[in-house]
Amino acid sequence: MGILLRLLLLIALIIIIYSFWKYWNNSRRKLEAAHQKKQFYLLDDQQNVRKNLLATHKGVMFEGEKYVGTTEKAFEVVTISLWVIESEHLRGFQREDFTFLEREILALYPEAAIEWNSPVKEFMQQLEAERPGKR
């Protein structure tokens, strides 16, 4: 009887440790933690093109849809359409913040062109128009 009880306690302990390990290594949890801490985190499954990528930077959550196309060498992700999930949190964002996000995404998908959706698209176009020496 005592051996059976010890065996059950050992199994319960293993299950608890395994559950904690799975929770701690969960990518969604890491994304939410970075979002609350206003840090950068990029969640993406590069093997699954149908799955959208999620990124957080300075407390703003972004979502991106990947589109596959042909390049000179192979089929690759050629376009990524990005949008802000909650645009009211964009207050204080500057062009450098958006270019930082673009650089991080292009590190994963070097063949991709990033297309911003509203309101970021209009913001970036306005900055391009205001740039001195630009015709």
pTM of the model: 0.73
- pLDDT at residue 54 is higher than 80: yes
Check if the beta carbon of residue 66 is closer than 8 Å to that of residue 53.
Answer: yes
Specify the pLDDT at position 133: 59
Structure tokens at 22: 């799975």
Distance CA 125, CA 7 (A): 66
Specify the pLDDT at position 17: 93
Q: What is the DSSP string of 27-80?
A: HHHHHHHHHHTT--EEE--TT-TTSPEEEEETTEEEEEEEEEEE-SSSEEEEEE
Question: For the chain, what is the domain count?
Answer: 1
In a domain, 126, yes or no: yes
Mean pLDDT of the 1-15 span: 90
Specify the pLDDT at position 64: 92
In a domain, 114, yes or no: yes
Distance CA 74, CA 1 (A): 63
In a domain, 15, yes or no: no
Q: How far is CA 17 from the centre of its chain?
A: 28
In a domain, 4, yes or no: no
In a domain, 69, yes or no: yes
Specify the pLDDT at position 134: 53
In a domain, 13, yes or no: no
Specify the pLDDT at position 40: 94
The whole domain housing 90 covers 27-130
In a domain, 8, yes or no: no
pLDDT band at residue 37 using 50, 70 and 90 as cut-offs? very high
Check if the beta carbon of residue 107 is closer than 8 Å to that of residue 100.
Answer: no
Closest listed residue to residue 95, CA positions, set 128, 55, 118: 128
